[in-house]
Homo-oligomer: A and B are copies of this chain.
């Protein structure tokens, strides 16, 4: 594969940023990779692990052909304001945040006219692991990446970002930013909150050790996402607050429906709910495998 960007800059050299860089290096799609960030030790670790070629200052990052923001979404505005004065003409900025409407708003506020060069993106890949040590070149292989370009976004910028994710092995789709946020509130953000809440409720019990002692593989998988980064999920929750509140209410209502059936000893109602859920999940898994 030929080089797509001569110079790539990462703001955030953790799981997502690091994996993106590794994949593009492996594909020969990126030349030099710069890393920008507040924490010199983390940048040194990223360099030692081969995620970046070297650390750089903001003014140097602005001279890159493409700058990827891969950090908690709450930091997007601050980072874009630091970057804005240094952006060279034609430089493309993109991000990997799990929410998009707030990122689009932050880009408009921080970049003004240059927001046309900002391509909002969300790789649907990850892990409860985080940090430079978790990065791997195949993280995005076969995974979806959703881009949510705005009407004013430059088509050439979208094409470059799409090409980069494809070079990393991903399958790229586009969605409206608000629709993206509604969908992910339901299939990702709510499950994370539901897992955090379940583990925390147990952890707060004085006799929690008795319970944890007998938790097994079902509990382990159900709560895997409760091992995710608290900072990242605090930011996602706040950024997608309205959609997530609606999902929490819908979920609470579904739990209440189950509670009513259980309280009434309604075996048929329980069977119906459990069977419908199992069928829906089986259908989903089949499509995933296909």
Contacts and interface: CB of A to CB of B under 8 A. Distances in A.
B187 A125 contact: no
B270 A234 contact: yes
B188 A216 contact: yes
Interface in A181-237: 183-184, 186-188, 190-204, 208, 210-231, 233-234, 237
Contact of A197 (B146, B203, B273): B273
Interface stretch (A3-11, A31-39, A63-71, A251-259): A251-259
Interface string A236-275: 0110010011001111111111110011010100110111
B199 A194 contact: no
Contact of A234 (B250, B251, B267, B282): B267
B284 A251 contact: no
Contacts of A194: 194, 198, 222, 255
A250 B201 contact: yes
Nearest to A248: B259
B262 A230 contact: no
Interface bin, chain A: 35 or more
Given A233-B274, A248-B262, A199 B255 contact: no
A248 B237 contact: no
Residue from A143, A196, A225, A226 whose CB has the most chain B CB atoms within 10 Å: A196
A255 B259 contact: no
A214 B187 contact: yes
Given A188-B219, A251-B198, A228 B278 contact: yes
A54 B187 CA distance: 47
A202 B262 contact: no
A114 interface: no
Nearest to A288: B220
Contacts of A258: 193, 196-197, 248
A246 B86 CA distance: 58
A281 interface: yes
Interface of A: 124-126, 143-144, 146, 183-184, 186-188, 190-204, 208, 210-231, 233-234, 237-238, 241, 244-245, 248-259, 262-263, 265, 267, 270-271, 273-285, 287-288
5 contacts: A124-B216, A187-B212, A196-B274, A226-B278, A245-B259
